[in-house]
Amino acid sequence: MTDAQQFTSQIRDDREHGASELARTCLDTLARHAGSIEVTSNEALRRQLIEFAQGLQSARPAMAAITNLIGEWIAAVERLPGGNVSTLRDDIKSISTTLILASENAVSSAAAHAAELVGTGKTVITHSLSSTVVAVFECLAGNVKAIVTESRPPSEGRRLAAKLSGLGIETDFISDQQMGLFAKRADVALVGADTIAGDGSVINKAGTYLLALAARDQGIPFYVCSESCKRSDHSSVGIVLESHDPAEFNPPRLAHVKSHNIYFDITPPHLVTAWITEHGRQHLDHLTKG
């Protein structure tokens, strides 16, 4: 297995990081690869890197940030003029750096907008672990309480609780099936997204749809905060929801019984109070126009 193949399968199997973080890790690795790969010609460098990038794009089809950011990277690399290999390596690295910085800034801006919308002194319930939602809590630390779900599998809510604990934020930690009970105690539900589909549907860790339903029934707003590169042109119907090995939650092995471990679910737009990106609060028609 080549380094590129190894990294691609690492991205495919990553259960630890959200879509934004993974997309930036991909860009960073493409930059390193541009610096180290052994090639004799400008065209070989470009071709091999673009092949690597395309493999990464298809590794996590449910994560539009990966598809989109790497898509921008490919387009920019294709536009680069010819020239010697060493200059091309530097130009490609600089494309990666620019895109990573833009993504980091987008996350910070989106988080700042969300923090303003949430306001101070509120209890925020969230599901899964989103680096954007962590950034919102960083903005509000000292003036916010949290309710965090375990988010099985692999229970990334445990890592979120550790982050919030580090920020000194008072946090209630619950198993996933208690979400309905605790939505009642929250003022706001706030999640990140793996992808926002063309119709405004939110593809995120399985259970997000349940939180949105509970928020609606309890009369609290349901906010989705993410950088705009999470937008996909595909409708939610066309999006493939990742499945992983059910062994992750150790189901019983029984005749006639089939276990499932679908990682994402789809929250329809009618349950979303607001989509928040680096451009602020987005309206559905604006959002779906792209």
Annotated catalytic sites, by residue? Answer: 194
Question: Which of 257, 285, 289, 290: binder of a copy of itself (CB under 8 A)?
Answer: 257
Residue 262 binds to a copy of itself (criterion: CB under 8 A): yes
Q: Which stretch binds a copy of itself (CB under 8 A): 48-56, 63-71, 75-83, 147-155?
A: 147-155
Residue 161 binds to a copy of itself (criterion: CB under 8 A): yes
Q: What are the φ/ψ torsions at residue 42 (nearest 5 degrees)?
A: -50, -50
Closest CA to 53 of 66, 37, 40: 66
Q: How many CB atoms lie within 10 A of CB 150?
A: 21
Nearer to a copy of itself, 217 or 233 (CB): 217
Nearer to a copy of itself, 7 or 264 (CB): 264
Closest CA to 278 of 99, 111, 115, 118: 111
Q: How far apart are CA 109 and CA 267, in angstroms?
A: 24
Nearer to a copy of itself, 256 or 289 (CB): 256
Residue 262 DSSP label = B
Q: Which stretch binds a copy of itself (CB under 8 A): 44-52, 58-66, 107-115, 178-186?
A: 178-186
For the chain, the maximum distance between any two Cα atoms, rounded to a whole number of angstroms, is 63
Handedness of CA 250, 252, 255, 261 (dihedral sign): negative
Nearer to a copy of itself, 29 or 267 (CB): 267
Q: Which stretch binds a copy of itself (CB under 8 A): 12-20, 187-195, 201-209, 282-290?
A: 201-209
Helix, coil or strand: residue 284: helix
Residues near a copy of itself (CB under 8 A) are 148-153, 158, 161-162, 164-165, 168-182, 205-207, 209-210, 213-214, 217, 241, 246, 249, 251-252, 254-262, 265, 268, 271
